[in-house]
C-alpha cells in the first residue's frame, strides 16, 4: 500500500506542477525520471514480492483507488495537452491496472461470499 501512496503522491504533485506547460514548450528529462520512479515503485513491489491475499480485499482496493488511481487519473488529465503526452498515456495505463485490480478484488469478494465456513469439531 505504501508504494501505491508514494506513486500517487509523485503522480499527483508532478502532474499538478506540469499542468500549465504549453504544448509547444521543450521537454525536460526530470519528469520522465520522476514518473518512471513512480511506476517502478509500484511495479517492482508487485513483480518481486507477489501479491498478498489482503491486497485483494475490497476495502483495501478502494483505499488504493483514492491514494493511487485518483492522482494518476488527475495527472493523466493535466498532462494530456502538454508536451508530456507520453506520461499522460502512462498514467492512463496505471489507472487501467487499478481497474483490473478492482475487478479481481470484486471476484475475490464474490468467491469469499460463496465459500462454506470450516466445520467446527
Give residue-wise pLDDT tens across range 59-88. 888 888 888 889 999 989 988 888 888 888
Contacts of 113 (CB under 8 A, 6+ apart): none
pLDDT at 121 over 70: no
Q: In this structure, how many other beta carbons lie within 10 angstroms of the beta carbon of residue 118?
A: 6
Q: SS3 of 25, please?
A: coil
pLDDT at site 73: 92
Domain spans in the chain, listed from the N-terminal domain onward: 2-18+30-114
Least confident of 25-29, 41-45, 47-51: 47-51
**How crowded is the C-beta side of 48, counted as CA atoms within 13 Å?**
7
pLDDT-derived band at 6, boundaries 50, 70, 90: confident
Least confident of 32-41, 44-53, 84-93: 44-53
pLDDT at 1 over 60: no
Ramachandran area for residue 65 (φ above 0: left; ψ -120 to 50: alpha; else beta): alpha
* Residue 44 near residue 103 (C-beta atoms within 8 A): no
Give residue-wise pLDDT tens across range 10-40. 787 777 777 777 777 787 788 888 888 888 8
Its sign, for the CA torsion 100, 102, 103, 107, is: positive
- pTM summary value: 0.78
* C-alpha dist (Å) from residue 68 to 21, 24, 72, 110, 118: 23, 29, 6, 24, 35
Amino acid at each position: 500500500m505504501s508504494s501505491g501512496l508514494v506513486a500517487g503522491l509523485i503522480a499527483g504533485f508532478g502532474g499538478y506542477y506540469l499542468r500549465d506547460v504549453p504544448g509547444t514548450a521543450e521537454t525536460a528529462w526530470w519528469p520522465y525520471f520522476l514518473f518512471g520512479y513512480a511506476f517502478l515503485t509500484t511495479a517492482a513491489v508487485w513483480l518481486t514480492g507477489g501479491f498478498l491475499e489482503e491486497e485483494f480485499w475490497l476495502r483495501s482496493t478502494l483505499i488504493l483507488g483514492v491514494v493511487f488511481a485518483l492522482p494518476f487519473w488527475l495527472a493523466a488529465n493535466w498532462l494530456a495537452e502538454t508536451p508530456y503526452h507520453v506520461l499522460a498515456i502512462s498514467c492512463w495505463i496505471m489507472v487501467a491496472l487499478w481497474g483490473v485490480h478492482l475487478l479481481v478484488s470484486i471476484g475475490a469478494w464474490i468467491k469469499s461470499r460463496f465459500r462454506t465456513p470450516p466445520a467446527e469439531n
